[in-house]
Amino acid sequence: MQIPVNRPYQPPFGQYQAYLERAYANNWLTNNGPLVQELKSRLEEYLGVRHLLLVANGTLAMQLAYRALQVRGSAITTPFTFIATSSSLQWEGIRPEFADINAASFNLDAAAVSAQMHAGVSAVVPVHVYGNPCDVEAFETLRAQHDVKVIYDAAHAFAVKVGNRSVLSYGDASTLSFHATKVFHTVEGGAVVFRDADAYSAAEQMTNFGIISGNKGIAGPGINCKMSEVHAAMGLAVLDNIAQVLARRIAAFQHYKHLLADVVSLPQWHSDANENGAYFPMLLATNEQSERVLAALATAGVTARRYFAPALHSLKDYQYPGMAPCPVAADYASRTLCLPLFYDLTDAEIRYVAQLVRQSL
Ligand SMILES: Cc1ncc(COP(=O)(O)O)c(C=O)c1O
């Protein structure tokens, strides 16, 4: 049996085709077409947010958010994340600095960030790792106290709420990735959700070369990171099925948890938030144990993934003087694995994977 770590959700082809046929009938394939507009308003409604801007991918979403919010100098972020979180900062000429993660949630620790604040820091970039919300209240306090922008990398946090409120509504902006492997996807794509209407408008212009809407001149430097109608078509077809996608992924997450929670540790989920079944991360007791599990799974045709390793603060680009150590992130990177989790993973496959994990422990 071969089980990949991830597999994109494909909506019934006829549903995707029906949206594509609309794009063809309109002969409008990109540049804020009707399907992009429909997807934007349906996502705003579904997620319970305003000022959502669709873009070409989740990395450009982050770059755009930094630009629109005029982030400069340094930004403090988490070392326990995918490389795009820090490389998007670097690409924009912003220095990523790292603070350690919280040992329970695996998310950026607000107290550690606070301890590292200095005059050159203009933003904090926490990540809702695996879809588990950060301590958003603590970051709200920090935002006010230090007059910094808070931009959440919410690439994993589609459809997550804290209480009744979308996790995307916290901070100055939140960015989403709609990559094919994500809970909700547009093949490639992403979005920024801004708190503020002006920042949204500034970013919207930037997505289209800086051209002022209605072709009224150039507002400033821009880029091309528009979402196309073909990508929006996939998004609309996936959104039509999102309730069943989420239900299945959450059930798979719960099934793994039931089978493995006594032998591995899981991130402590925010007490007031829902799960979204984006990943099944597990923390093993030692690096050696994680190597053993990875090897046993690989031999049986199952791909698990070190997600995230290495911890980003250890990369050579980020070795500046006075850098804070991040021992928790370094330790967790060496012994965290994500198991296969995707829409059509069967219960039998989950039992098979969990049994292999248990045997190798
Ligand atoms: C935490 C995180 N941030 C950013 C990204 C980048 O998103 P994209 O692949 O859409 O550019 C990803 C993608 O996997 C991610 O996991």
Question: pLDDT digits over 104-156, tens only?
Answer: 999 999 999 999 999 999 999 999 999 999 999 999 999 999 999 999 999 99
Q: What is the pLDDT of residue 232?
A: 98
Q: Is the beta carbon of 130 within 6 A of some atom in ligand 1?
A: no
Assessment of whether the complete model's pTM goes beyond 0.85: yes
Q: What is the pLDDT of residue 322?
A: 84
Q: Is the beta carbon of 9 within 6 A of some atom in ligand 1?
A: no
Q: What one-letter code names the amino acid at 24?
A: Y
pLDDT, tens digit, for every residue of 183-196? Answer: 999 999 999 999 99
Centre a 10 Å sphere on the Cβ of residue 342 and count the other Cβ atoms it contains.
Answer: 20
Q: Measured in angstroms, how far is the CA atom of residue 86 from the centroid of ligand 1?
A: 11
Q: Is the beta carbon of 155 within 6 A of some atom in ligand 1?
A: yes
> Could you write out the DSSP letters of every residue in 208-271?
BTTBPTTT--B-S---B-PPPHHHHHHHHHHHHTHHHHHHHHHHHHHHHHHHHTTTSB-PPPPT
> Of 66, 179, 181, 307, which is best to mutate to test ligand 1, by the most ligand atoms within 8 angstroms of its C-beta?
179
> Of 59, 107, 129, 338, which is best to mutate to test ligand 1, by the most ligand atoms within 8 angstroms of its C-beta?
59
Strands 190-194 and 161-162: unpaired
Dihedral sign for Cα atoms in the order 242, 48, 177, 350 = negative
- The DSSP letter of residue 302 is B
Q: Please answer whether residues 258 and 51 qualify as being in contact, where contact means their C-beta atoms are separated by less than 8 angstroms.
A: no
Q: What is the pLDDT of residue 214?
A: 87
> Of 54, 82, 158, 176, which is best to mutate to test ligand 1, by the most ligand atoms within 8 angstroms of its C-beta?
82
What are the strands, taking DSSP E only, across the chain? Answer: 52-55, 74-77, 95-98, 121-125, 149-153, 161-162, 165-166, 173-177, 190-194, 280-283, 336-339
- Quote the tokens at residue 88: 């998007």
Domains of the chain with bracketed CATH: 13-240 (3.40.640.10), 242-360 (3.90.1150.10)
Q: Is the beta carbon of 174 within 6 A of some atom in ligand 1?
A: no
Positions of the chain with pLDDT under 50 = none
Q: Is the beta carbon of 175 within 6 A of some atom in ligand 1?
A: no
Q: Measured in angstroms, how far is the CA atom of residue 248 from the centroid of ligand 1?
A: 22
Helices 34-47 and 229-240: crossing angle, nearest 10°?
40
Q: What is the pLDDT of residue 88?
A: 98
